[in-house]
Structure 1
């Protein structure tokens, strides 16, 4: 692992990534890096017409996350400052592989690798694995208007895509520890013991200096 930990929290839409990342950052006294979501000007149009707006949406996310992570790497990580992020840059491929097709998908893959291959990668990924029922309940609770009519089939496919992505990252980024949280049975917001268990796992990986 790096001398200072770079922790990313991941999971499908509605899993609770930002909530858990914020809680971990506060508990571990680390800066929090939050992705831009609602500020994406293509978001509502994307949910209304996926084929028409997918490329614009994905490029906006990619460029903004690239800038965020690049700044974080130079200003914090290289200066010895641990960081908690509510995303891993790899999520761009997870989503774009599903939303883009043909030449647009291939162009996006090329741009993704040019921008991200030399970015710092997380030492620890806290992966919140949750069922469709749990995700839908949390999406409804947070009340983002553009998410309320989300296609359930799209969300179910995203759950499978995240499972495949975590398996892939375990192979392609073997230096990264993946801590899986059962989002169906774990309520890290309402139950202090559940959150304490996650914190304990993270601290154990940090103190050991050995990702596995």
Structure 2
């Protein structure tokens, strides 16, 4: 039996993480894990006033992602079934360090370390990046009401945070392959040839034998 794979797709808001995760699910038959976003009762208020609502927002995401990952670990990965997710749990630290004050951040990171100490680790991380202009266009295109007030500077800072994080991650975890894809050049939602290119890049990054239906 092939070793179960755990692919996580990451990048800033609106970059296409869910679309690509769904495409991988359909192509390879992996179980699809999608993060809970619109169900977060604090998210709309967070975009209106980041400083006031950041801790509640980040704690909601952390607790829900912890429960999701515990479930997929027990119900799928430990049973030999591969999984693709439209987020990686480490994103919590990226957002928290951007939005939380030091006292709250210290508390948050302690809770994060406890909850994630035995979480499943990715066998491949796909990092989607793009310019602020492209990201803002895609956010507008998907038309989520709670995202109407997202600030361009917030997206710019978040994109920079992701780039810095992945630089450190490559250094600290050289055994975990990271596939970076340029969202300014690729539109795997609208262009089928771009999606096929992405699949080829995934298969070249990992062993093709691993891409059997889970």
TM-score, length of structure 2 as denominator length: 0.94
Note the aligned Cα RMSD (angstroms): 1.3
Per the alignment, residue 134 of structure 2 pairs with 134
Alpha-carbon shift at residue 12 of structure 1 (Å): 0.3
Per the alignment, residue 30 of structure 1 pairs with 30
Structure 2 residue 71 is matched with structure 1 residue 71? yes
Per the alignment, residue 182 of structure 1 pairs with 182
Per the alignment, residue 202 of structure 1 pairs with 202
- What whole-Å deviation, never above 9, does each CA across 1:142-188 have from its counterpart, x for those lacking one? 11112122111111000100101111221222221100111001011
- What whole-Å deviation, never above 9, does each CA across 1:120-158 have from its counterpart, x for those lacking one? 111101111111000000000011112122111111000
Moved over 3 A (4+): none
Q: What is the CA–CA distance in structure 1 between the aligned matches of 2:69 and 2:174, rounded to whole Å?
A: 20
* 3-state SS of 1:201 partner: helix
Alpha-carbon shift at residue 208 of structure 1 (Å): 6.6
Q: What is the CA–CA distance in structure 2 between the aligned matches of 1:35 and 1:18, rounded to whole Å?
A: 9
Preserved contact between residue 5 and residue 206 of structure 1 (Cα < 8 Å): no
Per the alignment, residue 113 of structure 1 pairs with 113
Per the alignment, residue 100 of structure 2 pairs with 100
Structure 2: segments with no counterpart, 5+ residues? none
* 3-state SS of 1:15 partner: coil
Q: What is the CA–CA distance in structure 2 between the aligned matches of 1:27 and 1:207, rounded to whole Å?
A: 13
Alpha-carbon shift at residue 112 of structure 1 (Å): 0.5
How many residues get paired? 208
Preserved contact between residue 188 and residue 195 of structure 1 (Cα < 8 Å): yes
**Higher mean C-alpha displacement, 190-199 vs 6-15:** 190-199
Q: What is the CA–CA distance in structure 2 between the aligned matches of 1:21 and 1:132, rounded to whole Å?
A: 22
Q: What is the CA–CA distance in structure 1 between the aligned matches of 2:48 and 2:171, rounded to whole Å?
A: 36
Structure 1: segments with no counterpart, 5+ residues? none
